[in-house]
């Protein structure tokens, strides 16, 4: 995979030639660019780092820490840690920023540097452009020997994260403990195995763990989609558990499976959480353009306003702040609760889902039956690097003169009975093609029609 630099940070495959993959040279230059940006911004010269369980993690972490130290920046190493744990640690440790070493849902050969500001939030697009310019400038100054940064480890950040979840005003710990729930977790051989079980234990929830060996040798494609979670759905047919949960390698996405192996899915994680939150704290709701219409529907049920943002956590967070949203996130199972922090977080997502189950007295299957039913198709096309995607999408708009369109992020076509969203990925050299309708067949038809027109137009 080519080295990709975007609002999601620096991402690529391990090995190969410098400048084309995420090699040691690229890691050092990228981290140095971040360190230069941090120093110039006037933030505290202290950075929190943490990694998921993939095999390249120790190597990438060592290079990252050493590069920051070489610039006179102190490093707090959280070791194996979830993305939301690192985000929260940036603030609690008074750091100027953070670097999360995780390629999220990508396979084990990938890794990435995900860059945070002093608020523990992903850096802005403008900051990212400044940082990338710094990387390319080659004009970076390193510290003298007496000014090198320090390296310390901090193994207490996870419990701090769990404590904050337990103290959250909408997490009903007593109701959850009284309910005596049991869950099955697919930890996909990463840090979900060390973060979700202790949270469950402190909530009085029995947790059966699948794929709990923390070696980064992912037992299946780590993206929490139905085709990748057949083992979990099969286990839920016979386990007797109240809830099946799957996380991605860095634990910022949460997918749900109901008793009997019923797929609830990642799209309905935010719907379920919003349903619960809006009962207690009404307010605006935000998700990205590729999220299910069911999010807007649940907001309307409570008489609240729904807003759509461009795809990408930083974009959702910016919109949430602008409209003072009470809950938000992405349809990929990412829950963002501003009472805790502005970041996707599977721990607070799970705690709020369990609170909803405990206080409603309903099963997750019964809750799902109460929501408007939509089916989504997620497809993709390889992106020819020579293609001017913006120009191609503009040409696509002209093919649908009578359809409502949104182009703040790629092109979204809103039909009467569904929608299709085409956009370039922030993390892979592809065009994502998402579609949703009331039936799987209609979603496939919509996606197929738009995809065919795109291919015909571009020769993709």
For residues 220 and 324, state if they share a domain: yes
97-101 and 74-80 beta bridge pairing: unpaired
For residues 191 and 298, state if they share a domain: yes
For residues 323 and 187, state if they share a domain: yes
For residues 199 and 348, state if they share a domain: yes
Q: Residue 415: which CATH number?
A: 3.30.310.50
Q: What is the pLDDT of residues 201-235, one digit of tens each?
A: 999 999 999 999 999 999 999 999 899 999 999 99
Contact call for residues 33 and 132 (beta carbons, < 8 A):
yes
- Which residue range(s) make up the domain with 454? 375-458
Q: What region does 425 belong to: left with phi over 0, alpha with psi -120 to 50, or beta? A: beta
Q: Tell me, what's the pLDDT at 8? A: 65
For residues 227 and 167, state if they share a domain: yes
Q: Tell me, what's the pLDDT at 410? A: 95
Domain boundary, last residue among 369, 384, 399: 369
For residues 170 and 272, state if they share a domain: yes
pLDDT along the chain (460 residues), means of 10: 73 92 95 96 97 98 98 98 98 98 95 97 90 85 97 97 98 98 98 98 98 97 94 97 98 98 95 98 97 97 97 94 98 96 98 98 98 92 87 93 94 95 83 95 96 87
What distance in Å separates the CA atoms of residue 275 and residue 272, rounded to the nearest whole number?
A: 5
Domain boundary, last residue among 319, 352, 369: 369
Contact call for residues 104 and 427 (beta carbons, < 8 A):
yes
For residues 318 and 396, state if they share a domain: no
What is the reported pTM?
A: 0.94
Contact call for residues 408 and 289 (beta carbons, < 8 A):
yes
Contact call for residues 4 and 10 (beta carbons, < 8 A):
yes
The count of structural domains within the chain is 3
For residues 329 and 386, state if they share a domain: no
For residues 98 and 126, state if they share a domain: yes
For residues 62 and 112, state if they share a domain: yes
Q: Tell me, what's the pLDDT at 383? A: 83
Structural tokens at position 290: 């590729």
Residues identified as active-site? 104
For residues 165 and 308, state if they share a domain: yes
For residues 285 and 433, state if they share a domain: no
What distance in Å separates the CA atoms of residue 320 and residue 341, rounded to the nearest whole number?
A: 12
Q: Residue 306: which CATH number?
A: 3.40.120.10
């Amino acid at each position: 995979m080519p080295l990709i630099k975007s609002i999601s940070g620096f991402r690529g495959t391990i090995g190969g030639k410098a400048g084309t993959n995420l090699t040691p040279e690229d890691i050092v230059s990228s981290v140095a660019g971040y360190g230069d940006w941090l120093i110039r911004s006037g933030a505290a010269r202290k950075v929190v780092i943490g990694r998921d369980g993939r095999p390249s993690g120790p190597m990438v972490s060592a290079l990252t820490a050493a590069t920051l130290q070489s610039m006179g920046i102190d490093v707090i190493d959280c070791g194996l840690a979830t993305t939301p744990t690192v985000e929260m640690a940036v603030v609690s440790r008074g750091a100027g920023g953070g670097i999360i070493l995780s390629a999220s849902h990508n396979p084990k050969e990938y890794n990435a540097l995900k860059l945070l500001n002093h608020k523990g939030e992903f850096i802005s697009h403008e900051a990212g452009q400044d940082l990338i310019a710094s990387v390319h400038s080659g004009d970076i100054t390193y510290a003298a020997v007496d000014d090198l940064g320090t390296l310390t480890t901090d193994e207490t950040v996870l419990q701090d994260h769990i404590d904050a979840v337990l103290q959250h005003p909408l997490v009903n710990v007593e109701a959850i403990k009284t309910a005596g729930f049991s869950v099955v977790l697919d930890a996909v051989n990463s840090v979900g195995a060390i973060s979700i079980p202790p949270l469950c234990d402190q909530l009085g929830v029995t947790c059966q763990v699948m794929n709990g060996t923390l070696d980064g040798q992912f037992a299946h494609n780590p993206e929490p989609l139905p085709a990748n979670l057949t083992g979990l759905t099969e286990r839920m047919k016979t386990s007797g558990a109240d809830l099946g949960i799957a996380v991605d390698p860095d634990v910022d996405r949460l997918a749900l499976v109901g008793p009997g192996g019923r797929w609830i899915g990642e799209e309905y994680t935010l719907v379920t959480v919003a349903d619960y939150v809006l009962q207690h704290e009404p307010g605006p709701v935000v998700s990205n353009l590729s999220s299910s219409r069911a999010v807007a529907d649940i907001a309307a049920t409570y008489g609240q306003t729904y807003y759509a943002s461009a795809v990408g956590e930083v974009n959702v967070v910016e919109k949430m702040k602008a409209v003072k949203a009470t809950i938000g996130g992405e349809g990929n199972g990412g829950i963002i609760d501003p009472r805790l922090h502005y970041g996707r977080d599977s721990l607070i997502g799970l705690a709020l889902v369990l609170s909803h189950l405990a206080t409603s007295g309903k099963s997750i299957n019964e809750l799902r039956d109460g929501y408007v039913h939509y089916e989504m198709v997620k497809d993709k096309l390889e992106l020819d690097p020579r293609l001017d995607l913006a120009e191609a999408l503009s040409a696509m708009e002209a093919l649908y003169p009578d359809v409502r369109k949104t182009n703040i992020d790629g092109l979204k076509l809103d039909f009467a009975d569904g929608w299709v969203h085409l956009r370039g990925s922030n993390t892979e050299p592809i065009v994502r093609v998402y579609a949703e309708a009331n039936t799987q067949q209609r979603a496939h038809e919509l996606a197929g029609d738009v995809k065919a027109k795109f291919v015909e137009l571009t020769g993709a």
